[in-house]
Amino acid sequence: MVTRHRHSVVTLTWRDVDIFAKAVAVSVRESGFSPEIIVGVERGGCIAGVLLSHLLGVDAFAALGIRTTRQEGPHPPRRRPVVYGDACADLVRGRRVLLADDVVNSGRTLRLASSRLAADASGEVLSVVLVRDTFGVRVPWEGIWGATYPAWIVFPWEVPTLARLRRCNRNPQR
């Protein structure tokens, strides 16, 4: 069950993630795209990618490291996406790639990842996300998503980090 917080923050449950991943898998099948490898954008995209690999029956998986935020928590300052791990070039060569992330907002990260992978792959890269965050977005993004929210999304694997941040904000000495 989705939990809404003030300041446009939505906390998802594992059940939500499962529903969204299944919706993405159905859309991928319906699109006719047949991935040969799934590449997850580190970190949350690896979780989304592994879920999709099971749902779509795709065994080949790789990770691509890209960061746009310097800190955890809702609405952190963003920077231009930076690739810090490009070890999957040989794994995607000549293959159809399903590029997975947990969330997309402006699409800058996925556009960078897609262009990197397309240069090494057969040119066929389809981007998918569990959630499309439309908060403050003015640029359209093309891809497949499981749900849309105009808010900062907190995934179940991020809840411990959010709790730690809340404790630190209440007691700055720690």
pLDDT tens column, 85-113: 666 788 888 899 999 999 998 888 888 88
Whether omega for the bond prior to residue 43 falls within 30 degrees of 0, making it cis, is yes
Helix (H, G, I), strand (E, B) or coil at 139: coil
- For the stretch 31-64, pLDDT in tens is 999 999 999 998 889 999 999 999 999 999 999 9
Q: Are strands 144-149 and 125-133 parallel, antiparallel or unpaired?
A: parallel
Strand partners, 98: 38, 126
The CATH code belonging to domain 3-71+78-170 is 3.40.50.2020
Cα gap 156→11, rounded to integer Å? 7
* pTM, 2 dp: 0.82
Asked whether 129 and 98 are in contact (CB, 8 A), the reply is no
